[in-house]
Structure 1
Amino acid sequence: MSEQVSESAMQAASDAWVAFSRLKRRLGELAVSGDLSPGQASVLARLAKHGPASASELAAAERVRPQSMATIVAALERAGMVERNPDPDDGRRLLVTLTELGRERRLDDRRARELWLARALQERCTPAQLRTITEAMALLDDVAQS
């Protein structure tokens, strides 16, 4: 089924895509995770968002080889940020779970990125522009949930 899409909707979609891609890349470049590799920071974020997962599930979700994920999980485990526990539904399987330290590290990372973005917006936007951004984000959130 092919629907007609207005030129203005296509332009809005393209502009949003470019802006979100640039913003995601910029936020990813921020060195707020200290000694964590990007892969380690990404696993902490995934576990915080989606909960415990097996190393193979993490590897698939992060699109890395299982051996690479094993290295990432081992480093996080040595640092005390994750632990492996038997899956309550299948005792042969281990689930990687955030520890309290891992949760705190993830929150610190998120707060630092949000603070950077808030400062950047405050420096570049008027109060009216900030309200427009807030309204636009609410609309995009509605689209994402439909």
Structure 2
Amino acid sequence: MSDSVEAISPSAARAAREVRVVFSRLRRRLREIGGAHDLTPSQTAVLSRLLKDGAATASGLAAAEGVRPQSMAATLAVLEERGLIRRDPDPQDGRRQLVTPSDAGREWVEGSRQARDEWLSRALQDRCTEEERETVLRAFAVLDRIVQ
């Protein structure tokens, strides 16, 4: 950390607060739209990771998600109970199991993603002008730069 501490401008503090509040609302709304109320954020994250990254062991998923193996075991038990994942023997090591999304899990993630994309596209189309949509795109370019 630097020896000199610069004061945060009021506009930076206000922008930070507004971004946080709006993103929280948007995240909640997208969860409602996508049917994520059926699953916890952790369960959704694991299912999405499996779809994106492919088969994984429970310990690999725990490490990737930054949780204890016991927590991952509980998450996977719920996903398996709901038929959203399946476990198969690892062809490299029969003592381990590989977790993959089931067809139902794949459909759930894809359906949820499509519902959220459709809702947000429709909301931007119906509630914003073309100029406002361009402003949103420019603002997200700035936010993306901040998080890089």
User: TM-score higher than 0.5 here?
Assistant: yes
Larger radius of gyration: 2
What's the TM-score once normalised by structure 2's chain length?
0.73
Residue type of the alignment partner of 2:136:
I
1:132 counterpart = 2:138: no
Give 1:104 shift: 3.4
Number of the residue aligned with 1:38: 39
Give 1:128 shift: 0.5
Residue type of the alignment partner of 1:98:
P
Give the RMSD, CA atoms, in angstroms.
Answer: 2.9
What per-residue deviation string (whole Å, max 9, x for no partner) do you get for residues 52-108 of structure 1?
A: 3333554673868355324213224xx3x4222345665533231124543333122
Structure 1: distance between partners of 2:66 and 2:122: 30
Give 1:120 shift: 1.5
Structure 1: distance between partners of 2:34 and 2:142: 30
May I ask how many residue pairs the two structures share in their alignment? 140
Percent identical pairs in the alignment equals: 43
The answer for unaligned runs of 5 or more in structure 1 is none
Superposed, which structure 2 residues align to 1:93-132 within 5 Å?
Answer: 93-132=96-135
Say whether the 8 Å CA contact 1:58–1:69 is kept in structure 2. no
Distance verdict in 2 for CA 1:103–1:66, change over 3 Å: closer
Structure 2: distance between partners of 1:62 and 1:82: 20
Number of the residue aligned with 1:142: 145
Structure 1: distance between partners of 2:49 and 2:146: 23
Give 1:109 shift: 1.1
What's the TM-score once normalised by structure 1's chain length?
0.73
Superposed, which structure 2 residues align to 1:40-55 within 5 Å?
Answer: 40-55=43-58
Give 1:32 shift: 3.5
1:74 counterpart = 2:80: yes
Say whether the 8 Å CA contact 2:58–2:73 is kept in structure 1. no
Superposed, which structure 2 residues align to 1:55-66 within 5 Å?
Answer: 55-56=58-59, 58=61, 61=65, 65-66=71-72
Distance verdict in 2 for CA 1:10–1:92, change over 3 Å: farther
